[in-house]
Structure 1
Amino acid sequence: MATATTAVTSSSAPPAGLRESKKQETRQLISDHATRLFIAQGFEQTTIAEIAAAARVAKKTVTNYFPRKEDLALDHQDAFIASLAHTVAHRRPGESALTALRRAFTDAATAADPVAGFSGPDFARMIADSPTLTARLRDLHDLRESALATTLATTTDTPHDDITPRTAAALLGAVHRTLFQRIQDLTLADESPARITTTVTTEADLAFDLLEPSLGDYAVA
């Protein structure tokens, strides 16, 4: 049985759902201030102390939510890494990995999804101007490709070190890298989101068509 003291402590603590909501609000607040400062000053030139001061939190709070400075700028990275593997794992019955990824990219381009590369000119310029963020983005592409290879191996009941899923993931990953960079380049050229969507959707069809002879029937659900 709880004592009077513990009962008061328990009743005064915020519910778990509220605590999680507050954590998400704090995380978003820090991320928003960091992005604003990165765009205004440059990624390399902005310090964690400046971000903490802008968000009115302690430096330790910033690093608790974002262990690395790059995480503050690339806060969709978990979704980015998992995106291709998730699409393949949840492909429709009778759908190949290639068909599922083609469909998902078209949907993402239509929605101007940030995970696909739609970020706006200021953000795209911030990435392009930062050697640190450019290098980190390459790492994220590698991690996404590796996650896709693992899922392809699992769904085809193939050993994870087999060359086939690794090669398929490399080919599919290369198309997505190319399309991601194409979106960034068009964004930096001040093309409108609608124009970018039209352009990359057409170019995606050409790119995916190149893989049809080798991967059109691979990893069919």
Structure 2
Amino acid sequence: MLRELKKRETRQAISDVATRLFIEHGFDEVTIAQVAAAAKVAKMTVTNHFPRKEDLVFDVHEDFVAGLAAARGENEPLLAAFRRHYFEALDRQDAMIGFSDPDFARMILTSPTLLARLRELHEGREKALAAALSVEFGDVAARAVAAQIATAYRVLFHEVLQRTAAGELDIAKTVRRSARRIFDLLGSGLG
């Protein structure tokens, strides 16, 4: 247990150092070797914890990908579950729906590499949701339903990210209106 705690602490420390360096110098300008030196660990330690450089930024990518598939409670109506899940995350200003600080948001939006990885993560999230829904809907319908829900989350994620990067205040209030409209539109087709 102590060993696992030490591993988690090391992983978090590496991620924190990397994020600081990426914000200061740009994601594409910083190497894994520089991250390792700044974190005072071996380069191999960094790559053992983070096989891809982008995962130093998206260090919770596994939770992100699995999040939608786990959002629905047992016997909870489909759209109501995702509406509830989204608005609860919005109330918390959760990073899983795009909330961060402005420098972090700008770092992502100005890096084609990070934007490409973010697209992959959104696609992974959609596939995981489709797999979770396939028992109930069958494969093709589950993919269609998952695509609609995941697209709503993706659009709203980017809305939060762009508004954060622009330094807007009270983003949750603005995005809440957009989210209501999007979920209402989904409800007219999925409800």
Measured against the shorter chain, the TM-score band is over 0.9
Larger radius of gyration: 1
1:24 aligns with 2:5: no
Does the alignment pair 1:187 with 2:157?
Answer: no
C-alpha distance in 2 between matches for 1:178 and 1:144: 14
**2: CA distance between counterparts of 1:211 and 1:31?**
37
Residues 131 and 22 of structure 1: CA distance in aligned 2, closer, same or farther (over 3 Å)? same
Q: Is the 8 A contact 1:92 1:100 kept in 2?
A: no
Higher relative contact order (CA 8 A, sep 6+): 1
Figure out how many residues of one structure are paired with residues of the other and give that number: 191
Letter aligned with residue 19 of structure 1: R
Following the alignment from structure 2 to structure 1, what is the Cα–Cα distance between the partners of residues 18 and 188? 45
Q: Separation in 1 of the partners of 2:74 and 2:101?
A: 32
Task: After TM superposition, give the deviation of residue 87 of structure 1 in Å.
Answer: 0.5
| Matching residue of 1:73 | 57
Counterpart residue number, 2:173: 198
Give the secondary-structure state (helix, strand or coil) at the position aligned to 1:86.
Answer: coil
AA in 1 matched with 2:150: G
**Partner Cα distance (1:92, 1:112) in 2:** 25
Aligned: 1:207 with 2:182: yes
Gaps of 5+ in 2: none
The structure carrying a bigger helix percent of its residues is: 2
TM-score (norm 2): 0.97
**Alignment partner for residue 122 of structure 2, among 141, 145, 149?**
141
Q: What RMSD, in angstroms, separates the aligned Cα atoms of the two structures?
A: 1.0
Alignment of 1:90-109 (within 5 A): 91-93=73-75, 95-109=76-90
Q: Which runs of 4+ in 1 moved over 2 A?
A: none
Helix, strand or coil at the partner of 2:30: coil
How far is the alpha carbon of 1:214 from its aligned partner? Answer: 2.3
Shift of 1:92: 4.7
What does residue 44 of structure 1 align with?
28
Deviations 1:68-87 (A, max 9, x none): 10110111211110111111
**Quick one: percent identity of the two aligned structures?**
51
Instruction: Give distance in 2, aligned partners of 1:24 and 1:187.
Output: 28
d(CA) in 2 for partners of 1:23, 1:124:
27
